[in-house]
C-alpha cells in the first residue's frame, strides 16, 4: 500500500485525528476506536512498513521496547490482569491491516476476547519436515541480520587501547532502547 493512502500513516502525520496516549520521534500510540477492551492501544511506527519483517532490526527493537513500556503503563493505570501484545495482519477475517501495528490489549476477567483455533493433526514425519525447514531458514535469517561493523567502529577497534574490546559487538543496541 502507498503511504498517502494508508490510514495509519495519516494518523501518524496528524492528517487524521486520534486519541494519542504516546508519542516519540519514531512511534505514536493511540486508543483503538473499536477497542477489544478498555485501554486497547495501537502502537504505530511513523514510517510506513507493510509488516514488522520489513523493519530494520534496530528500529524494531526500539519499537518493541516502547510498546512494552506503554503496555506496562496500561497495566499500572487500568489494572487489568495482563496486557497482551498482538501483532497480526488480520484482526477480523479478510480485513488486512496495511501498516506494521502492534496492538496492546488489556485483559480483564469479564472481557469478551476469545483467541480460538482448531488444533491441526500432523504426522510425525510432517513435524520433522517443518522443524528442519524452519531451522535451516533461521540460519539464513541469522546470517542476514548479523550486525555489520560500521566504518567508524572498525577504525575504533584498530586502536591499541581498544584491543581488549575486539570481541564486543561494534554497535550497542541497548543504549538506544527507551527506559521509562
6 binds Zn ion (CB under 5 A): yes
Kindly tell me which residue out of 8, 27, 37, 100 binds Zn ion, with binding defined by CB under 5 A: 8
CB of 158 to Zn ion, least distance (A): 42
Cβ contact 36:105 at 8 Å = yes
Residue selected from 45, 99, 103, 104 as contacting Zn ion according to rule CB under 5 A: 99
CB neighbours of 79 closer than 8 A, spacing ≥ 6?
none
Q: Does 48 bind Zn ion (CB under 5 A)?
A: yes
Q: How far is the CB of 143 from Zn ion (least distance, A)?
A: 30
Asked if 9 interacts with Zn ion (CB under 5 A), we say: yes
- 103 touching Zn ion, by CB under 5 A: no
Question: Which residue sits closest to Zn ion, CB atoms considered?
Answer: 6
Task: Name 22's bridge partners.
Answer: 29
Closest distance of CB 23 from Zn ion, Å: 16
Distance CA 70, CA 106 (A): 11
Cβ closest to Zn ion, residue 9 vs residue 30: 9
Q: Which helix (H) or strand (E) holds 26?
A: none
Question: Which DSSP symbol is given to 127?
Answer: H
Residue 121, all three cell numbers: 493433526
Minimum CB distance to Zn ion smaller for 37 or for 97: 97
For residues 115 and 107, the answer to whether their CB atoms sit within 8 Å is no
User: Taking contact as CB under 5 A, which single stretch among the options 50-58, 83-91, 98-106, 122-130 is the one that binds Zn ion?
Assistant: 98-106
DSSP 175: G
For residue 144, the surrounding DSSP H or E stretch is helix 124-145
| CA–CA dist 105, 84 (Å, integer) | 5
Residue 11 interacts with Zn ion (CB under 5 A)? no
* Number of residues lying near Zn ion (CB under 5 A): 5
Q: Which is nearer to Zn ion, 20 or 111 (CB)?
A: 20
Give the binding site for Zn ion (CB under 5 A): 6, 8-9, 48, 99
Amino acid at each position: 500500500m502507498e503511504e498517502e493512502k494508508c490510514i495509519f500513516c495519516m494518523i501518524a502525520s496528524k492528517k487524521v485525528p486520534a486519541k494519542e496516549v504516546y508519542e516519540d520521534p519514531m512511534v505514536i500510540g493511540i486508543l483503538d476506536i473499536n477497542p477489544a477492551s478498555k485501554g486497547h492501544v495501537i502502537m504505530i511506527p511513523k514510517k510506513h512498513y507493510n509488516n514488522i519483517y520489513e523493519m530494520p532490526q534496530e528500529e524494531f527493537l526500539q519499537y518493541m521496547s516502547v510498546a512494552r513500556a506503554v503496555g506496562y503503563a496500561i497495566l499500572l493505570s487500568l489494572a487489568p490482569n495482563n496486557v497482551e501484545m498482538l501483532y497480526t495482519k488480520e484482526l477480523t477475517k479478510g480485513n488486512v491491516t496495511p501498516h506494521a501495528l502492534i496492538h496492546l490489549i488489556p485483559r480483564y476477567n469479564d472481557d469478551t476476547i476469545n483467541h480460538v483455533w482448531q488444533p491441526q493433526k500432523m504426522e510425525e514425519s510432517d513435524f520433522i519436515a517443518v522443524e528442519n525447514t524452519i531451522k535451516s531458514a533461521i540460519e539464513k535469517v541469522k546470517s542476514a541480520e548479523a550486525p555489520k561493523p560500521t566504518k567508524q567502529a572498525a577504525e575504533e577497534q584498530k586502536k591499541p587501547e581498544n584491543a581488549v574490546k575486539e570481541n564486543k559487538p561494534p554497535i550497542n543496541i541497548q543504549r538506544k532502547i527507551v527506559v521509562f
